[in-house]
Amino acid sequence: MKEIPVGTKGHYEMTVTDNDTAKVYGSGSLEVFGTPAMIALMEKCALESIIPYLDEGEGSVGTALHVSHVAATPVGMRVRCESILTEIDRKRLTFDVKAYDEAGLIGEGTHERFVILNDSFMEKAGLKKQGISH
C-alpha cells in the first residue's frame, strides 16, 4: 500500500432508480432512496478515493458504518456522496461521509475500511465453506 494522505477526498454521484428504493431493499415500504442504498453509496465513495493508493493484489473492505439518514429522496433525483479520510491506523482507515440530494443533506456519519490482501482474504473466507474457522 502506498502512503494514503489523511485528508484524501472522495466524490461519487448517481441517480436514484427504482432499484435503489427502501421498498426494493426490504428496509421499508416506500419508493424513496433506501438507507441500504445510501450506505452502499457511502462505501463506494470512500473506496473509490483510495483505489489509486492500493498496490496490485490489494483491496479494501468496509468493516463499520455509523450513519444517520436524515431526509428522503425520491426516485429520479441525483444523489452524491463526499468522503474525507480522517484517520489512518496501519491498515484501518476512517472516513467522514456525507450524502446529499439536489435539495441538501440526506445522510452523514463515519465509515471504517481495512486494506486487505485480496487472495488471503478470499482464502480465509473460503475456509468457512469447509467448516474451518480462522
**CATH number of the structural domain spanning residue 66:** 3.10.129.10
Whether residue 1 lies inside any domain: the answer is no
Whether residue 86 lies inside any domain: the answer is yes
DSSP conformational letter for 2: P
Q: How many domains does the chain have?
A: 1
Residue type, 122: M
> Residue 17 catalytic?
no
In the chain, alpha helices (H): 22-25, 35-50, 118-127
Mean pLDDT score, 111-127: 94
Give the pLDDT band (50/70/90) at residue 127.
Answer: confident
CA–CA dist 107, 109 (Å, integer): 7
Place of cell 473466507: 125
* Of 21, 58, 69, 108, catalytic: 69
> Residue 43 catalytic?
yes
Q: Which domain holds residue 38?
A: 9-130
pLDDT digits (tens, 9 = 90+) for 71-106: 999 999 999 999 999 999 999 999 999 999 999 999
Whether residue 54 lies inside any domain: the answer is yes
E strands along 1-134, which residues?
9-15, 58-69, 78-89, 92-101, 104-117
Mean pLDDT score, 109-118: 98
> Residue 66 catalytic?
no
